[in-house]
Chain A
Amino acid sequence: MNLKHLREIAQAGIWKNNTGLVQLLGLCPILAVSTNLINGVSLGLATAVVMAISGAVVAALRNLIPYEIRIPVFILIIAALVTVLDLAFNAYLHSLYLVLGIFVPLIVTNCIVLARVEAFAAKNGPLSSAVDGFAMGAGLVWLLALLGGMRELIGTGHLFNGIDMIIPSAQPLRVLPETYPGFLVAILPPGAFISLACLIAGKSWLDARAAKRAAQARPAAAPVSA
């Protein structure tokens, strides 16, 4: 029962209520950072960690926070957590910090963190809130991976640009032939808007198709259950 509840929360974060495709929150970092797959996944992971921790902390403190000043207190908690996380990353996981580091301070400006804390963590327990935050972040990871991968593939013909920051000996993967001239607009900001619009349209199409199938299946199933 409890496990089923957590699974539903995870599903909502990863697909049904995806931050980038459905809630359309925190678009600025999403669009700015998704120039390639590695960057996209890095920001997604950093966001997932921050959201899981801030969700859990706010949920644990939720009965101590007066309703009238909850927003400033949430911001205070998120900002403090991100600051300390950023410092800890820098100090103890420096090689990871070199990859994720520039994204962590960006997360403070991401309204999705505050939105989930206010909409979910303020009303639920620490475990559910941590799962919710992490699932929302996971939804962001796959979306940013897809968006970043699309943009760098169309823009440069390569995948995994910048992998040498994580695995020093690795090289970007050339997917399109050597003669591919590149298509710079995909890497520049307009490409981000166009690619995201295509992904949103794609999700809506998948959802519409699933709804239609469910509607067709129902009349057929009705007599059996009756």
Chain B
Amino acid sequence: MNEPTAGSLSLRTALAMLVFTLVFTAFMAGGYLLTRDPIARSANAEKLLLIDQILPRSGYDNALLEDVIRLPPTPELGLDRGGHVWRARRAGQPAALVMEAVAPDGYAGRVELIVAVAADGQVLGARVTQHRETPGLGDYIDPRKDKNKAHPWISQFERPARDLPLAAWTVKKDGGAFDYNTGATISARAVTRAVGRVAAYAAAHRDALFK
């Protein structure tokens, strides 16, 4: 056989590339279609597991994850890209809200949270879902990283005093009502203030959120 010319060579390799691309794209598409439903199921189960920590299942009887509204970007909650609110009901009556929120002022940027607020305005609990605070220093806001396993820092938000004024939703160092670990105030302050803003927002927009 003769040496292939530049033209026939590029045509052949382009064709081979096309075939490989099609085959492996089809392979990926097949994988996606096959795993789509199980993945959605496990993502929901995982989310519910986190919500269970701040809102016990005995407190509501609806399908919580399906009773959801999507908030547009809401600066009061720090949600610059919008977020979700899940609505817990018992016998059709409002029981509690589980709201996403963002503390924009963590030591290393955004700290993402979920906060449960009862229908009567009582804060029920909070969990950090995403953060980049310094390991070993500010990351105690995540109970899995908190060295105090018996009473992790975040457990202060389980039914704190009712009707705290917004100014009290900060660390004791700033005259607020909440503890912090010495040497790592910024992370605690950011989370505490964000939870306070969620409580205020839930109280102000309760009826609209449950509608």
Contacts and interface: CB of A to CB of B under 8 A. Distances in A.
Contacts of B137: 184
State which size class the interface on B falls in: 20 to 34
A83 B27 CA distance: 10
Given A182-B136, A184-B136, A184-B137, A164 B144 contact: yes
Contacts of B12: 66
Q: Is the interface of A mostly helix, strand, loop or mixed?
A: helix
A64 B16 CA distance: 9
B31 A83 contact: yes
A91 interface: yes
B27 A80 contact: yes
Contacts, number: 64
Interface stretch (B35-43, B85-93, B155-163): B35-43
B135 interface: yes
B201 interface: no
B136 A88 contact: no
Give the bracket for the number of chain A residues in contact with chain B: 20 to 34
Contact of A73 (B17, B28, B135): B17
Contacts of B38: 90-92
A35 B135 contact: yes
A71 to B, nearest CB: 11
A188 B138 CA distance: 14
A19 B17 CA distance: 30
B173 to A, nearest CB: 22
Interface in A20-57: 35
Interface of A: 35, 64-66, 68-69, 72-73, 76-77, 80, 83-84, 87-88, 90-92, 94, 97-98, 155-156, 164, 182, 184, 187-188
